[in-house]
Amino acid sequence: MTKPILLSTPHMGSRELQFVTEAFETNWIAPIGPHVDAFEREFCQKVGSSHATAVTSGTAALHLALKLVGVGAGDDVFCSSLTFSASANPIVYEGAKPVFIDSDRQSWNMDAKLLETALEQRARLCKLPKAVILVHIYGQCADIDPILAACEHYGVPIIEDAAEALGATYKGRSPGTFGKVGIFSFNGNKIITTSGGGMLVSEDASITSKAKFLATQARDPAPHYQHSEIGYNYRMSNVLAGIGRGQLLVLNDRVAARRRNCEVYQQALAHLPGIEFMPEASWGTATRWLTCLTIAPTAFGVDREHVRLALAEAQIEARPVWKPLHMQPIFQNYDRVGGEVAEDLFDRGLCLPSGSNLSDEDLHRVIDAIVKCARS
């Protein structure tokens, strides 16, 4: 039987099990503990942020981030449209309303000019959003500087969703460290994983300490259990933080391996008519968390779905680019700004198997299956 090739699978290094064993030997099998503290410290060093709070998921981190910048019922929150639903779900948890912003073609991320115009219009109506969730999709940074400048001009805080972009750079710095709050994910399919987990970072210590407070059931300092706010059970387990510490040690290798996958795919496929790879924007280095390309059906001979199904037939998992959130049944009644670029990328875009543990043989199986689809 043919071995399936999956989109992105966990890839452990050599130290994770040692850290987990240490947690067992010291009986630190708890949410919080020394591995959690160390993971937060080491994560800060890696991305160049001052403070961090480790939590159960990227979604939990985003939920806390929204609360910490003061988003509440009835508020509007601007959010990238071309992203995973978890980027916007926490807006709705809080009873706030997402407004979806289209992508630009050079980064596939939030279009800075569209955002600027939308903020200007909202300012005139005295209806500014309470926050902007800026997503760095597929391991590539959005054009952060003009977005930051526009948001600062109108006093709107940015939450960076860097769930897919750990290890990327924007003008030499890590995404997640530019906005008021940044979040990362360690879900099983991400660039490094703790099986499930997330991180919230900020330059403002009051943000991360309030995040710790809310994530541990909002317990007031008192010997009895006293609560004056609604809390959450969102803290990361000490066992899983051990996995995270091991994974951080190999992050650079994982980024290099994913970038290499993309280079191999590009060398073999970029010359085919109708194929275009997701561009790497000039302002930074993308991790190529997933290698994405678009297929122009007339030039290539068949459309994206045809290629995806041919790959599935060969036991190869490939997926369409994110369906824009403004097209999702659950979000389609919310406002949006533009949307045509994201719709086109969804229509023609395909994500190829991209794990850091793929072999050359795996990559060539994918390449051969795509080449076979091309107009001959």
At closest approach, how far in Å is the CB of 110 from ligand PLP?
12
Is residue 39 a contact point for ligand PLP (CB under 6 A)?
Answer: no
Is residue 164 a contact point for ligand PLP (CB under 6 A)?
Answer: yes
Query: According to CB under 6 A, which one of 16, 102, 160, 161 is a site residue for ligand PLP?
Result: 161
Residue 100: count other Cβ atoms within 10 Å of its Cβ: 27
Strands (E), 45-130: 51-55, 76-80, 97-101
SS3 99: strand
Rounded Cα gap, residues 86 and 63, in angstroms: 10
Chain residue whose CB lies nearest ligand PLP: 58
**Candidates 51-59, 170-178, 311-319, 355-363 — which segment interacts with ligand PLP by CB under 6 A?**
51-59
Which residues does 200 contact at the CB level (< 8 Å), separation at least 6?
52, 53, 55, 61, 64, 65, 181, 182, 183, 207, 208, 211
Which residues does 98 contact at the CB level (< 8 Å), separation at least 6?
76, 77, 78, 79, 88, 91, 92, 325, 331, 334
**Candidates 9-17, 55-63, 279-287, 312-320 — which segment interacts with ligand PLP by CB under 6 A?**
55-63
Query: According to CB under 6 A, which one of 31, 58, 98, 355 is a site residue for ligand PLP?
Result: 58
Binding mask 303-342 for ligand PLP (x = CB under 6 A): ----------------------------------------
At closest approach, how far in Å is the CB of 29 from ligand PLP?
21
At closest approach, how far in Å is the CB of 107 from ligand PLP?
14
Q: Identify whether the C-beta of residue 278 lies closer than 8 Å to the C-beta of residue 108.
A: yes
Q: Which of residues 271-300 bind ligand PLP (CB under 6 A)?
A: none
Is residue 234 a contact point for ligand PLP (CB under 6 A)?
Answer: no
SS3 316: strand
Strands (E), the chain: 51-55, 76-80, 97-101, 131-135, 158-161, 169-170, 181-185, 198-202, 275-277, 284-285, 291-295, 319-320, 336-337, 349-352
**Candidates 80-88, 102-110, 215-223, 365-373 — which segment interacts with ligand PLP by CB under 6 A?**
80-88
Strands (E), 217-363: 275-277, 284-285, 291-295, 319-320, 336-337, 349-352
Rounded Cα gap, residues 362 and 369, in angstroms: 11
SS3 256: helix
Binding mask 194-233 for ligand PLP (x = CB under 6 A): ----x-----------------------------------
Binding mask 106-145 for ligand PLP (x = CB under 6 A): -----------------------------x----------
Is residue 193 a contact point for ligand PLP (CB under 6 A)?
Answer: no
User: Both tokens of residue 118?
Assistant: 């939308």
**Candidates 56-64, 145-153, 173-181, 202-210 — which segment interacts with ligand PLP by CB under 6 A?**
56-64
Distances (CA, A) of 360 to 5, 106, 338, 364: 12, 29, 40, 6
Quick one: 193 or 275, whose CB is closer to ligand PLP? 193
Q: Identify whether the C-beta of residue 168 lies closer than 8 Å to the C-beta of residue 136.
A: yes
Quick one: 62 or 269, whose CB is closer to ligand PLP? 62
At closest approach, how far in Å is the CB of 203 from ligand PLP?
21
At closest approach, how far in Å is the CB of 187 from ligand PLP?
4
**Candidates 124-132, 158-166, 245-253, 356-364 — which segment interacts with ligand PLP by CB under 6 A?**
158-166
Instruction: Name the site residues for ligand PLP (rule: CB under 6 A).
Output: 57-59, 83-84, 86-87, 135, 161, 163-164, 185, 187, 198
